[in-house]
Amino acid sequence: MDLRWRTVVVTGAASGLGREVALRFGRAGAGVVVVDRDTTGAEETADLVRACRVKAWSFAVDLCDDDELPLLAGRLRDLGGADVLVNNAGGWTPGEQYPAADPAAWSRTLDLNLRVPMRLTQLFLDALPDRRGRTDEPGAVVNVSSSAAVGTDPYGSPEYAAAKAGLVRFTTAMARPDVASRARVTCVVPGWIGLDRAQREWAALDPAERATLPPLVPPAEVASTVVDLATRGPAGTVVEMLLPQLRLSRANWPLKSRLRGHFARDYPSAGPRARPRPGRPVDDADATGRVGASSPACRRTVAS
C-alpha cells in the first residue's frame, strides 16, 4: 500500500509509542487521525504530524466509552474514511491487579486492550466500502500487543497479559480469506520499549538487575515495523520484537531484509527468560492522563 493520500487512524497517539507511530506515518505521506482521551497531547501529536506537510486531525475520545466509538466512526466517515487502523491504545488499569482488583478495574483492562480493538476493527471493516479515494487495495489493521501475551512466566497483571494474548489470536483468526480480502489484520508484539519513562526506570535499576534484562526495544524500530505491517504485512502476520532477536510469522516476508540483523525463523521457545517481576502501572490520573504500560516482566525474545 502506498501511504500517500491514505488516511491512518492511530489510537492512543497523544504520547508514547502511538505518537512515534503517528509521526512515522506522517513522514511516509499519510494523513493521520490522532485518537486519544488526552486532548492536549493528541493536538500536540497532530501538530507534529502537520509539520511533515501532511494533514492531521486530533479527536478526543474515551475509547472505553461504548457510546463514543460510533461517533468516532461518523467523524471518520466525514473525512472520507480510513485506510489503516492502528490499535495502539492500551495498558494496565492502575491500582490492584487481578485477582485482588475490583471486577470493574480488571474488566476495563480487558476492554481497553482487547474489546476496544475488536470493536474498532469491526467499525473499520464496515466503513471500508464507503471510503473515498483509492479503494483498489484492502485496508489494513495493525494491533499493538505486548510480550506479556506470549510469555509463560508469572506476570504482574494477568488481565493485561490475557487481553494482549487475545489480541494476538484475534489477529491470526482474522486471516480468514473473506476478511483478508477486505483488510489485512496484523500485529506487533513488542518487549519493553525504550520510551522516555522506560529509560528513566531502566536508569534507576540496580546495575546487577539491569544486567539480567534484555535491552529495551527502540521505539523507532517498533514504529517502523507498524508502518511496514500496514503497507505490506500479509494478513495474520504477528511480529514479536524482543531484542536481540526478532522473529516473523512469515519467513519470506520482505521485512526480513530490512531487519536482517534481528531476524530468526523459529518460535522463541529457546529464548532468554527474564525472571518474573511485577510490572509497574502508572497512575491513571497523572498530569498526562497516560495509562501505564510498562511490562518489565516480558520475556525478551521474539515470537511469531
Ligand X SMILES: NC(=O)c1ccc[n+]([C@@H]2O[C@H](COP(=O)([O-])OP(=O)(O)OC[C@H]3O[C@@H](n4cnc5c(N)ncnc54)[C@H](O)[C@@H]3O)[C@@H](O)[C@H]2O)c1
Residues of this chain that bind ligand X (CB under 6 A): 12, 14-18, 36-38, 41, 61-64, 88-91, 112, 144, 146, 190, 192-193, 195, 198, 289-291, 293-295
Q: Which residue in this structure is represented by grid cell 516476508?
A: 253
Residue 291 C-beta: closest distance to ligand X, Å: 4
Q: Which is nearer to ligand X, 52 or 242 (CB)?
A: 242
| Structural contact between residues 266 and 119, judged by C-beta atoms closer than 8 angstroms | no
7: cell is 488516511
Pairing of strands 238-242, 245-248: antiparallel
Residue 41 C-beta: closest distance to ligand X, Å: 6
Indicate the DSSP class of residue 85.
E
Amino acid at 288: T
What does the alpha-carbon distance between residue 256 and residue 223 come to, in Å, rounded to a whole number? 16
Q: Which is nearer to ligand X, 97 or 131 (CB)?
A: 97
Helices (H), 111-150: 116-127
228: cell is 511496514
| Structural contact between residues 26 and 56, judged by C-beta atoms closer than 8 angstroms | yes
Residue 267 annotated in active site: no
Q: Which is nearer to ligand X, 119 or 182 (CB)?
A: 119
Q: Which is nearer to ligand X, 8 or 144 (CB)?
A: 144
Query: How far out from the chain centre does Cα 241 lie?
Result: 12
Residue 6 C-beta: closest distance to ligand X, Å: 22
Q: Which is nearer to ligand X, 30 or 149 (CB)?
A: 149
Catalytic residue among 98, 155, 160, 267: 160
Edge-first strand order for the sheet with 245-248 is 56-60, 31-36, 7-11, 84-87, 139-144, 183-190, 238-242, 245-248, 263-264
Residue 188 C-beta: closest distance to ligand X, Å: 8
Nearest one of 63, 18, 79, 82 to 227, comparing CA atoms:
18
Nearest one of 235, 239, 226, 229 to 268, comparing CA atoms:
239
Residue 149 C-beta: closest distance to ligand X, Å: 9
What amino acid positions are annotated as catalytic residues?
Answer: 160
